Amino acid sequence: MKLTLAASQEGANEPSRQVGRLRQLEARAAHDTYNRLSQLHIPVYICGGHHDGISPPANLEAIHKQIPGSYLEFFKGGHGFLYQDPQAFKRIIAFLQNKFD
């Protein structure tokens, strides 16, 4: 978790950081592709943490239902599940190498 904390503090004093954060939130608020997800016909692996408060499991489940043939997997931890569950990287790599079972 130190790595994540250190990364979030990098450039914290830069004046443009707050402007960038606000612009990112504005872009996310207007970006909605949910209704087009059913048009995806490629392998899609959706994963997240069981206890993620930023990207809750219910949101990932809804996305999974929209994408035909998608894979959904939850890992131990929250939004930082990649660092909290040692299986996460292994499973993602397996999917990307087309060795997902």
Burial 13-39 (b: 16+ CB within 10 A, else e): eeeeeeeeeeeeeeeeeeeeeeeebee
pTM of the model: 0.72
One digit per residue, pLDDT tens: the chain, 101 residues?
455 556 666 777 787 888 888 888 888 888 889 999 999 999 999 999 999 999 999 999 999 999 999 999 999 999 999 999 999 999 999 999 986 55
Q: Which fold has domain 14-96?
A: Rossmann fold (3.40.50)
Nearest to 47 by CA among 8, 1, 78: 78
